Structure 1
């Protein structure tokens, strides 16, 4: 029989990224939480946490975290059906990419959360790596660019976001016009490769994909900026060009504050919603809501990216 006090200690340590913060969240001492983790590992006969070089769950720990998260969601469903059992805060832990959070996500999910008194813990991850959070048992759902779900989960295509290579007019004048090259749409690929880019993080491959479509796979000069808002501000300041969502930059393109320096090379990034198969009615209703609303706010999926029905 599982001891859920021990499992809650494991979940708190992972959720709060440390024993001390996990203990505060549970209203316990750090020593008490450590003892619960040790007792859990003793009963199971193997570790549930990796302590170094970075705190994280073992494969067994990930399975237990998945179980805890699903039990929490199912418990909320039961409390909704039987109010006499008491009240419980309804919270979902979601991994989402920064560009979705900065554009369509608040509009789409705002009304749903208000109507259901739902609280969200949103972990900001690039769409290429958010699925790792699902695999590690840290989140109940995620937005990512990968169609294939992890074991025990489902995947649904939401639509795509179009990214364009944007820069300030001042940047264009300094890096293109001074070399005697034409202003877009006649941007030479060699010029684009040599100009400083803005990259969201180590896992952001959009600039690499852009240059690859032009036949270049070599390294290129770039700034790293892990902030969606900061990314746009750096482009406006003339520090570099960046692959920016069309939704986010529409008003800046219209005003001329940013210009498209590679208009024939826009990239459409597919987005998929992943969630547990047995996550309870709230997760199922959120899924239905996302599928319905995203059809109006996202672009259609690139034809080659749409998965076969059997994949979902």
Structure 2
């Protein structure tokens, strides 16, 4: 049987970013919460924390945190059903993995009112669309927003829509590299901006244009930085249409190939036994996401031959 006092100590240390603040949250001394962590590690037979600043969970620590979060969600449901059990404690915390472009564009507007109404604290784990689901499979998060449809064991997936990207560059970049107009074959030899080594969107876009293989690119693991580098003419990039509306309207960015976007589906993955709160958030996202996302047809908007 789990000793939930020990698991609560682990959650407090991680969520508060240290032993001292975690102890204050639980009304314990720093020595007492440290002893609880040591006892938990003795019982599981391995470390649950990396003693750093701030402390970080080990792999087994992440799984234990995931379990604590599920228990809290179920306890929250019970408290609503039996008000006498409601102790007026801290707002609920949900750990969610999502891609940086959603966070930079529509996510906050979609969930802001819900978090305020339901007293939810979000702990966001930012990953590329292709990587986020691995977090859920590893038991690190309660939900995940990613491009993969197939849910992990014990979870469901809901299609919310698709994020539309457009291949953009600055006017100076276009004048420098394509003074006579865009030659598709030259795109592979023209510097692009790629979010990171796990981001294959540019690869797929080029394949849809008949270009396969390696291409010149910068790596920029920041959604904001990605847009700034594109604006500065460092490279061309696939930018969310939502993120570049002002730049397109002002002429600060232009589309490399007219009306050839590429769409990326976004699926919301969540635990089957995540309690009412997770179900309510899922219903909320299902209703509101269409305000920002485009319908997903199952094929990229630019060409049916794209490798998606």
Report the TM range for the smaller structure's normalisation: 0.7 to 0.9
Tell me if 1:71 matches 2:103. no
**Does the CA-based 8 Å contact 1:128-1:203 persist in structure 2?**
yes
2:113 maps to 111
Q: Distance in 2 between matches of 1:50 and 1:304?
A: 43
Q: How many residues align?
A: 291
Q: CA, structure 1 residues 174+67, in 2 after alignment: closer, same or farther (shift >3 Å)? A: same
Alpha carbons 2:13, 2:21 under 8 Å: kept = no
Partner in structure 1 of residue 190 of structure 2 = 195
Q: Is the 8 A contact 2:100 2:127 kept in 1?
A: yes
Q: 1:144 to 1:197 in 2, by over 3 A?
A: same
| 1:246 alignment counterpart | 241
* Mapped pair 1:91 → 2:93: yes
1:246 deviates by: 1.0
Within the alignment, does 1:230 sit opposite 2:232 as a pair? no
Structure 1 match to 2:296 = 301
Separation in 2 of the partners of 1:294 and 1:71?
28
Q: Does 1:157 align with 2:159?
A: yes
Contact 1:197/1:222 (8 A) holds in 2 = yes
Report if the CA contact (8 A) 1:57-1:136 is conserved.
no
User: TM-score, normalization: structure 2?
Assistant: 0.84
Q: How does 1:21-32 map to 2 (within 5 A)?
A: 21-27=17-23
Q: Which moved more, 1:153-162 or 1:102-111?
A: 102-111
Give 1:81 shift.
3.5
What are the ranges of 5 or more consecutive residues in structure 1 without an aligned counterpart?
306-312
For 1:209, the equivalent position in structure 2 comes to 204
Structure 2 Cα separation of the partners of residues 30 and 208 of structure 1: 51
Contact 1:12 / 1:26 at 8 angstroms: preserved in 2? yes
Q: Which residue of the other structure, out of 248, 255, 261, is the alignment partner of 2:256?
A: 261
Task: Give the match's secondary structure for 2:243.
Answer: helix
CA distances 1:225-265 after superposition (whole Å, capped 9, x unpaired): 22222211211111111110111112221221111103354
- Aligned twin of 2:6: 6
